[in-house]
Amino acid sequence: MSATGTTETAAAPAVTDLTDKQLRILGYLREHADSRTYFKSRLIAEELDMSAKEVGANMPPICEGEFDLDVEKWGYSSGTTWMVTA
């Protein structure tokens, strides 16, 4: 609780709050979201010259942010899959 008696909530990340890697991932998802819905971390990583672990570690701010895409962790079968909708 703040001094005024209200509960403060953390704001969703804005594009300006994202790291370079997160911006690259978001850009990749935006570029391909019209033609696909599901993205594997491993395949994103290959396209962006990262490891799947790097992609997974950088996805939470994208999932939690208020962007033009909705990104949700969808499954974990031979790697993490993300569901992306515009």
pLDDT digits (tens, 9 = 90+) for 54-85: 999 999 999 999 999 999 999 877 789 999 99
Concatenating the DSSP letter of every residue in 19-65 gives -HHHHHHHHHHHHHTTT-SEEEHHHHHHHHT--HHHHHHHSHHHHHS
Whether the full predicted model's pTM is greater than 0.85, yes or no, is no
* Measured CA angle at 51 (ends 24, 10), to 5 deg: 55
What the chain holds in terms of domains, given with CATH numbers, is: 19-85 (1.10.10)
Q: Can you give the pLDDT at residue 25?
A: 98
Q: Can you give the pLDDT at residue 79?
A: 85
pLDDT digits (tens, 9 = 90+) for 32-61: 999 999 999 999 999 999 999 999 999 999
